[in-house]
């Protein structure tokens, strides 16, 4: 039996029409999916008979919040179990300007970045669009809080799962569902250039973040295998084109590793790399991941690095670190059961 949530809206409308149901039924069902209803029985604007009839044809599969951990700073990490038993993590963060939810796009990750917990053990599978939507609706339901921003910065590489991610973006943007503005969504990629180019065409309003972490090809290759497939000059060209085409600032994420990429030399090289581009650098002291053996720079060193960039005309901020005490910070999400 096919899960009713796994259809696109068009497919669902078609399937319901074949059963002789009017078009507004799809709207009602879609609204219940977005509200986080857990079963056909919760769809109370469908008659009991209709619910029974639909339940015979389509299953109503859910993601379940298996564990919710709350950090001392209020950040909440959700361990979500998909119907097939695979698990992903999503992180809820409260900022002055609204609530953000960081969601995963894959179970595990194939990109192999040397500093990141999500890639240990590789990619188990990609998530489907509806599973990403479940991350959002389950977190909203369980936290009782609205979500104002979504960031695709959890486990997985979004452009290694382009189609499903695109479907998810359209669904959360759908005015009949969550109606989230594209401008309130940020997607982060490790630098898959074809994905960046396609994304610029199809989703010019969604914010793009690039995990850069190094200021030259040699250093980047050491940290991120993806740099071999898509070398830095090619990546930078795609980013410049993106900023020009969309008129929107590209964010560069830069995790500072003590004594490695937090030096004045790196700051200068990075400034040269980014000069003249509509961009912003998000600095973050590398978060600890036991297996990597790397140490993050101090907040003080990070502030100094930011000052160096700013003095060379590159806008930069040091990101607040949220959720580190529950392993919910950047690069700490993994597919284990508890952390
Ligand atoms: N695969 C995408 C989406 C993941 S986003 C990407 O690479 O952009 C998660 C962000 O956290 C990325 O910028 C990633 O490089 C960063 N990150 C990974 N490990 C980290 C760590 N130990 N400390 C700080 N940031 C880390």
Encode the chain in three state secondary structure: CEEHHHCCHHHHHHHHHHCCCCCHHHHHHHHHHHHCCCCHHHCCCCCHHHHHHHHHHEECCCCEEEEEEECCCCCEEEEEECCCCCEEEEEEEEECCEEEEECCCEEECCCCCCCCHHHCCCEEEECCHHHHHHHHHHHHHHHCCCCCEEEECCCCCHHHCHHHHHHHHHHHHCCCCCCCCHHHEEEEECCCHHHHHHHHHHCCCCEEEEECCCCCHHHHHHHCCHHHHCCHHHHHHHHHHHHHHHCCCEEEEEEEECCCCCCHHHHHHHHHHHCCCCEEEEEEECCCCHHHCCCECCHHHHHHHHHHHHHCCCCEEECCCCCHHHCCCCCCCCCCCCC
330 CA distance to ligand 1 centroid (A)?
5
94 contacts 114 by C-beta, under 8 angstroms: no
User: CB within 6 Å of ligand 1 — which residues?
Assistant: 111, 113, 115-116, 153, 157, 188-190, 211, 253, 255, 284, 286-287, 289, 330-331
Average pLDDT across the chain, whole number: 95
Residue 311's pLDDT band (cuts 50, 70, 90): very high
pLDDT of amino acid 316: 98
- pLDDT bin (cut points 50, 70, 90) of residue 326 is confident
Instruction: Give the atom of ligand 1 at the shortest distance from the alpha carbon of 253.
Output: 13
- Reading the block at residue 22, the tokens are 């009017």
**Which residue's alpha carbon is nearest to atom 7 within ligand 1?**
190
- pLDDT at residue 215 is higher than 90: yes
Instruction: Name the band, by pLDDT with cuts 50, 70 and 90, for residue 327.
Output: confident
Q: How far apart are CA 48 and CA 9, in angstroms?
A: 23
Angle separating helix axes 9-18 and 24-35, nearest 10 degrees = 130
Average pLDDT over residues 71-76: 90
* Range 94-123 average pLDDT: 95
Q: What pLDDT does residue 339 have?
A: 42
- Cβ distance 190 to 239 under 8 Å? no
Torsion (CA) 305, 307, 312, 315 in degrees, nearest 10 = 90
Per-residue b or e along 302-324, where b marks 16 or more CB atoms closer than 10 Å to that residue's CB? bebbbebbeeeebebebeebbbb
Given 26, 34, 89, 279, which residue is catalytic?
89
The model carries a pTM of 0.95
Residue nearest to atom 12 of ligand 1 (CA): 211
* Residue from 331, 335, 339 to probe ligand 1 pocket by mutation (most atoms less than 8 Å from CB): 331
Q: Is 330 a catalytic residue?
A: yes
All structural domains of the chain, each given as residue ranges with its CATH number in brackets, are 2-59 (1.10.150.530), 64-326 (3.20.20.70)
Distance (angstroms) between ligand 1 centre and the Cα of 167 equals 23
Q: How far is the CA of 156 from the centre of ligand 1 (A)?
A: 9
Tell me the pLDDT band of 338, cut-offs 50, 70 and 90. very low
d(CA 212, CA 166): 23
Q: What is the predicted pLDDT for the residue at 218?
A: 98
Using alpha carbons only, what angle is made at residue 39 by residues 35 and 44, rounded to the nearest 5 degrees? 70
Q: What was the pLDDT predicted at 322?
A: 79
Q: Separation of 327 CA from ligand 1 center, angstroms?
A: 13
Q: How far apart, in whole angstroms, are the C-alpha atoms of residue 225 and residue 152?
A: 21
Q: What is the pLDDT of residue 336?
A: 59
Computed on alpha carbons and rounded to an integer, the radius of gyration of the chain in Å comes to 21
Tokens in use for 197? 């180019």
């Amino acid at each position: 039996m096919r899960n009713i949530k796994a259809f696109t809206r068009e497919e669902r409308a078609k399937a319901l029409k074949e059963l002789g149901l009017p078009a507004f039924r799809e709207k009602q069902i879609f609204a219940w999916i977005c509200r986080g209803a857990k079963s056909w029985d919760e769809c109370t604007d469908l008659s009991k008979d209709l619910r029974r009839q639909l339940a015979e044809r389509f299953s109503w599969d859910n993601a379940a919040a298996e564990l919710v951990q709350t950090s001392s700073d209020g950040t909440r990490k959700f361990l979500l179990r998909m119907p097939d038993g695979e698990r992903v993590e999503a992180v809820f963060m409260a900022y002055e300007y609204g609530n953000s939810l960081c969601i995963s796009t894959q179970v595990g990750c194939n990109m192999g970045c040397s500093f990141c917990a999500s890639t240990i053990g590789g990619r188990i599978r990609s998530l489907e669009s509806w599973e990403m939507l479940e991350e959002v609706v389950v977190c909203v339901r369980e936290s009782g809080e609205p979500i104002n921003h979504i960031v695709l910065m959890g486990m997985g590489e979004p452009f290694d799962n382009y189609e499903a991610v695109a479907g998810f973006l359209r669904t959360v943007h759908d005015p009949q569902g969550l109606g989230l503005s594209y401008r309130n969504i940020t997607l982060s990629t490790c630098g898959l250039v074809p994905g960046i180019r396609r994304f610029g065409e199809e989703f010019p309003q969604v914010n793009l973040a690039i995990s850069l972490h190094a200021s030259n090809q040699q250093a980047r290759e050491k940290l991120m295998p993806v740099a071999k497939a898509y070398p830095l000059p090619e990546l930078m060209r795609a980013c410049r084109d993106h900023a020009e085409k969309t008129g929107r600032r590209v964010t560069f994420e830069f995790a500072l590793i003590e004594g490695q990429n937090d030096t004045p030399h790196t700051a200068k090289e990075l400034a040269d790399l980014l000069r003249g581009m509509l961009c912003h650098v998000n600095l973050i002291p590398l978060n600890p991941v036991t297996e990597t053996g790397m140490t993050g720079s101090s907040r003080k060193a990070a502030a100094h690095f930011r000052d160096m960039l700013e003095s060379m005309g590159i806008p930069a901020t040091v990101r607040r670190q949220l959720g580190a005490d529950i392993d919910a910070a950047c690069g700490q999400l993994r597919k284990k059961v508890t952390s």
